Amino acid sequence: MNLVILAAGQGKRMRSALPKVLHPLAGRPLLAHVLDTARSVATALGRTSQFIVVVGHGGAQVREAFAGYADVRFVTQEPQLGTGHAVLQAAALLSDAEPTLVLFGDVPLVEPDTLVELVRAAGSGVCLLSARLTDPSGYGRIVRDADGCVMRIVEDADATDAERAIDEINTGILAAPTRRLKSWLAQLGNENAQREYYLTDVVALAVREGTPVAASVAPDAGQVLGVNSKAQLAQLERRVQQRNAERLMQAGATLADPARFDVRGALTVGQDVFIDVGCVFEGQVALGDRVRVGPYCVLRDTTVGAGTELVGFSYLDGSRIGADARVGPYARLRPGAQLDDRVHIGNFVEVKASRVGEGSKANHLAYIGDAEVGPRTNIGAGTIVANYDGVNKHHSQIGENVQVGSNCVLVAPIRVGDGATIGAGSTVSGEVLPGGLTLARARQIFNPRWKRPIKKPGG
């Protein structure tokens, strides 16, 4: 089928240089949500489909942002002369053999099932998506005849008192037979205050020709909310996050407060997962059974094994964490960090592009970069792996059952043998042999004749 998405609007009330359909909702552009829905509809209906996006203001930015969408075709509406004019720009690309579904790039919450029902209800005629509002002021009303068929859409300013009492409003989304839609689009006029060509005017043309026109009521008016301002975008964000929270709780997760929780990508959870307040999940995140996430953690593109605890205020990006581990508080795992089972990474510890073996620990104020750390090794407080020489990153190999004292510097590339102990305060730049004690620090001295400088009066 033909799926046409209108994304040419400037969005003046957004007060932004960014095209409206590129503003993020749950971490992804508004238009991305609509495209995902369109694909789901096409799949559910089992139809061969094409996706056409009509761009205008900021069209080059929109095309660039969606350059990776190989199945999407773009057409430009220039100048912007209304919704009917926008669909007309796509007419040459529409297959007459398939119906056309028109969507809006700034209306991202419509559920696929709602649109599938709309297309099926259209049959060989036209079907509008409508909604019932407690306060329909400002919206075009759906006027039906005695049999429930749509006769016309009347704008709020032009409605009679009886018509204003109608609570069913038009959303602008519609499904129609493509050949007839092209004919109606060619007949549209712009005799109105805005001098624009309105897509809603095809309803009157269809009724005049005797084409059946129906309206399918959205099961939830919240699905058809659009974005015209930053305030409305924020309202939709909370609706999306409430959906996410409900889905996760149905999957068995416990959320300390569903209203203080954000998913900006895809989050999957096992059983008995607990998520505290203020956590943000970006990209692809998976939490195993019994994982506990403390307050104000950020996880991006990370997997966490069963029984692991992430203590508050930790930041995990591109990481893989095994089972029964403990991370945080205030820990940072950068891309390429891999923690095996039962690893402890404590407060103010950073791990980057490194694997830390089973049962190993770095509990305080340490940095591990570009290193392989064996099992049951302890990295002391204040210890760093100096992996960068100002030009190149160097790899280090630290064996199993190694004890590294506090405030050590391991100058990469370096190899530390199994069972080695490195004394506190050592700066090690050569190979550390297995077993025994390695010290690399200046001898302590005492000078009893040394005098501390005294500040001169008035100095």
Q: Give tens-digit pLDDT for 416-458.
A: 999 999 999 999 999 999 999 999 998 889 999 999 888 888 7
pTM: 0.90
Among residues 253, 319, 310, 326, the alpha carbon closest in space to that of 282 is found at 319
Tell me the average pLDDT of the chain: 95
Question: Is the backbone peptide bond immediately before 329 cis, with ω within 30 degrees of 0?
Answer: yes
Q: What percent of the chain has pLDDT over 70?
A: 100
Q: Are 383 and 398 in contact (CB under 8 A)?
A: no
Cα separation, 15 vs 11, whole angstroms: 8
Q: Which of 23, 364, 394, 395 is catalytic?
A: 364
Label residue 182 left, alpha or beta by phi (over 0 means left) and psi (-120 to 50 means alpha).
alpha
Q: 286 versus 194: which is more confidently predicted? A: 286
Structure tokens of 249? 């709780």
Q: Work out the average pLDDT over 11-31.
A: 95
Give the span between the Cα atoms of 92 and 178, in whole angstroms.
11
Q: Are strands 150-154 and 141-144 parallel, antiparallel or unpaired?
A: antiparallel
Provide the total of helices (H) and of strands (E) in the chain, helices listed first. 8, 39
Name beta bridge partners: 415: 397
> How far is the C-alpha of 130 from the C-alpha of 144, rounded, in Å?
12
Q: Which 3 state secondary structure label does DSSP give 261?
A: strand
SS3 content of the chain, % helix, strand, coil (to 5): 25, 30, 45
Residue 158, pLDDT above cutoff 90? no
pLDDT of residue 227: 95
Q: Is the pLDDT of residue 166 over 70?
A: yes
What pLDDT, on a 0 to 100 scale, did the predictor assign at position 226?
A: 93
Tokens of 394: 């160097």
CA 93 and chain centroid, separation = 31
pLDDT digits 0-9 by tens, 239-265: 999 999 999 999 999 999 999 999 999
Q: Which two tokens stand for residue 337?
A: 């960090």
What local confidence, expressed as pLDDT, does residue 337 receive? 98
Query: What's the rounded mean pLDDT across residues 117-129?
Result: 95
The per-residue pLDDT for 47 is 83
Identify residue 183 by its one-letter amino acid code: S
Q: Can you list the alpha helix ranges (DSSP code H) found in 136-290?
A: 161-164, 178-187, 202-209, 230-250
Give the residue from 380, 307, 296 showing the smallest Cα distance to 339: 307
Would you call 310 helix, strand, or coil by DSSP?
strand
Please, are residues 400 and 420 in contact by the beta-carbon 8 Å criterion?
Answer: no
Q: How confident is the model at residue 15 (pLDDT cuts 50, 70, 90)?
A: very high
| pLDDT, mean of residues 274-301 | 98
Residues in the chain: 459
Could you give the domains of the chain? 2-224 (3.90.550.10), 230-438 (2.160.10.10)
Buried-state track 36-45, b at ≥16 Cβ within 10 A, e below 16: ebbbebbeeb
What single DSSP character describes residue 457? T
Asked if residues 34 and 52 have their Cβ atoms less than 8 Å apart, the reply is no
Check whether 280 has a pLDDT greater than 90.
yes
101-105, 136-140, 178-182: the lowest-pLDDT one: 136-140
**91-105, 190-204, 437-451 — which one is most confidently predicted on average?**
91-105
Q: Quickly list DSSP for 386-425.
A: E-B-SS-B--EEE-TT-EE-TT-EEESS-EE-TT-EE-TT
Question: Is the per-residue pLDDT at 193 higher than 80?
Answer: no
Residue 459 is predicted with a pLDDT of: 60
Q: Is 364 a catalytic residue?
A: yes
pLDDT, residue 156, reads 85
Question: Hey, is 177 helix, strand or coil?
Answer: coil
Tell me: the pLDDT tens digits for 289-301?
999 999 999 999 9
For residue 329, the Cα-to-chain-centroid distance in whole angstroms is 25
DSSP state of 156: G
Residue entry with tokens 């809006």: 104
User: Using an 8 Å Cβ cutoff, are 301 and 282 in contact?
Assistant: yes
End-to-end CA distance of the chain: 85
| Structure token pair of residue 147 | 């049999």
pLDDT at residue 458, as a whole number? 76
State the pLDDT at residue 408. 98
